[in-house]
Structures are given as C-alpha cells and as structure tokens.
Amino acid sequence: MDKYETFKKNIDKLVNIDLNYYKEKQMKRRITSLMNRNGYDDFDNYFLALKSNKELLNQFINYLTINVSEFYRNPAQWEVLEKDILPNLINKKRKPLKVWSAACSTGEEPYSLVMLLNKFYSLRDIKILATDIDEEAMNKAKIGLYTEKSLENLPPGFKEKYFQKTGSSYKINNDIKSSVEFKKIDLLKDTFPSNMDLISCRNVMIYFTDEAKELLYEKFHNSLNENGIFFVGSTEQIILPERYNFKSVKTFFYKRTS
C-alpha cells in the first residue's frame, strides 16, 4: 500500500475524516504542499507529527476544510432567495422557518441568513442551525470579527445596522450572534437534522467525489420537509436533480419532491 493510502487510513482513525470522499488529485496536492511547507517530505513522518502536535493537527484540519467565505457571497442569488424563495416558504408556514447553514465555516453564511430573515421576522424569533466539521472555524464565527473585504457584498445599510467597527475590523452585533446555534457535524458521517425548511450548503460540494455527492444529496433530501428548499453554490448546479428527488425552482435552488 502506498504511503498516501496509509496516511488516509490513519487520518480517518485519528480525526474521523474520510479523505476518500474528496477528489484524490486535488486533495493529495493540497496536503503535500502543506506537509512540505511544514518541513516534512514523507506522509509517515507527517502523520506522526500530526498525532503528537495539536497545533499542527488544527492547522491541518483548517487547511482541509478550505475556509474562504464572505457575507452575501454571489449577491444575485441572495436577491432570488429574498424575492422568490423566502416569500413562498413563509406563505406556507406562519412560524419562523427552520434553517440550516451546512459547512458554515467562519459564520458569514449563517449570519447573512439571519440578517436577511430579519426583513421578515424579529431577531428574537430567528434560530439558525450552523454546522461545520472545523471547530476552530466555528470558534472564529462565535467571536464574530470580520475584515472590511468580507463585508463588501452586503446590501446598503447592513454594515451600519448589524456591525460595529473595531479597529480595522468589524464585529457583528450580539443579537445576530444569538440567533445562530453552532454545532459540529461531519456531513459524510453524521446524522442530519430533520424537517428543515431551508438548507444552505454552498461551495463545499465541489471538493467531493461523485459518490460522496450522491450520498449527500440523499441525506439533504431526507433532511428537508415536504416543501423544503436546498440552496447550493454558484458552481454546484445539480445535473438531473430528478435523480435525487429534487426539482429546480430557480438556478441554484432545488425543491424537495417525494
């Protein structure tokens, strides 16, 4: 067995992340580059270092989970969500919606959802579940400190209404933070929450193999309620969504069908 195969097995045992679900060439290249940057030229030695050095291991998990995010990423899609998708969902349901931001990274996405939902509900009625495999990213989200650049796509007035400037950064208001519950979930291995009205999982599926995607589409489908909507990233359109019991309602938005 080659050293990378052994490395993948060892990583799965150590941190319960199955690297087989990620596109092989892409992932191997990323890990090799990180390994070399840290002065290791061999997967066996690198694994031993990860096992004994918590900081190195955290860096590895961080790197693996590709935390690149911003508020209102792809603004045109957020407009569709506001004008077409949410009014429809809200019509069918008086209570605040059950919303899940999957692979939430450092919090930009769930916080964007809270700000948008605040146009329809008062903040105290909004509760969003935000999950990720990377606890360090979620810890950053809980602190809620962001660069000016990550706020660039926000609608007019949102920056002033929902953030406070702190030095050269922006801190998100506590009442937005308290509308989000963060929880660790490994999409590939863990049980999903049920009966969701809206699931946003954007810019993460591109890293998975077709086999992993099929598994996830099924799990997301089962996690939605009968009128639930699945919102994906701008490079993640589902080819032949009917195969997975989804129906395209707008580009990047899929409705669960039974």
Q: Domains in the chain and their CATH numbers?
A: 3-64 (no CATH), 75-256 (3.40.50.150)
Per-residue model confidence as pLDDT tens digits over 189-247: 999 999 999 999 998 888 889 999 999 999 999 999 998 999 999 889 999 999 999 99
Cβ–Cβ under 8 Å, residues 202 and 231: yes
Task: Identify residue 121 by its one-letter amino acid code.
Answer: Y
Block residue for tokens 């953030």: 163
Please compute the mean of the pLDDT values over residues 75-96 and round it to a whole number.
91
Q: What is the pTM of this model?
A: 0.82
Please compute the mean of the pLDDT values over residues 69-92 and round it to a whole number.
93
Q: Is 247 exposed, middle or buried (0-12, 13-18, 19+ CB in 10 A)?
A: exposed
The token duo for 138 is 């979620």
pLDDT for the residue 67: 57
User: 208: which DSSP letter?
Assistant: B
Per-residue model confidence as pLDDT tens digits over 104-118: 999 999 999 999 999
The token duo for 190 is 């863990």
Per-residue model confidence as pLDDT tens digits over 17-69: 778 877 788 889 989 999 999 999 999 999 999 999 989 988 887 777 655 67
Confidence of residue 186 (pLDDT cuts 50, 70, 90): very high
